[in-house]
């Protein structure tokens, strides 16, 4: 699902920032 892919990408970005 596109939402899942986008969510994973967003989560990865958050982890990188944190």
Q: Tokens 């970005």 correspond to what residue?
A: 13
The pLDDT value recorded for residue 17 is 80
pLDDT digit string, tens, across residues 1-18: 789 999 999 999 999 887
Residue 2 backbone phi and psi in degrees, to 5: -60, -40
Cα separation, 13 vs 16, in Å, equals: 5
Token pair 């939402």 in the structure block, residue: 3
Cα–Cα dist 3/17, whole Å:
21
Q: What is the model's pLDDT at position 8?
A: 96
pTM of the model: 0.16
User: Could you please report the per-residue DSSP string of 1-18?
Assistant: -HHHHHHHHHHHHHHHH-
Give the pLDDT confidence score for residue 10 in this predicted structure: 96
């Amino acid at each position: 699902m596109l939402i899942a892919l986008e969510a994973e990408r967003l989560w990865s970005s958050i982890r990188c920032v944190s």
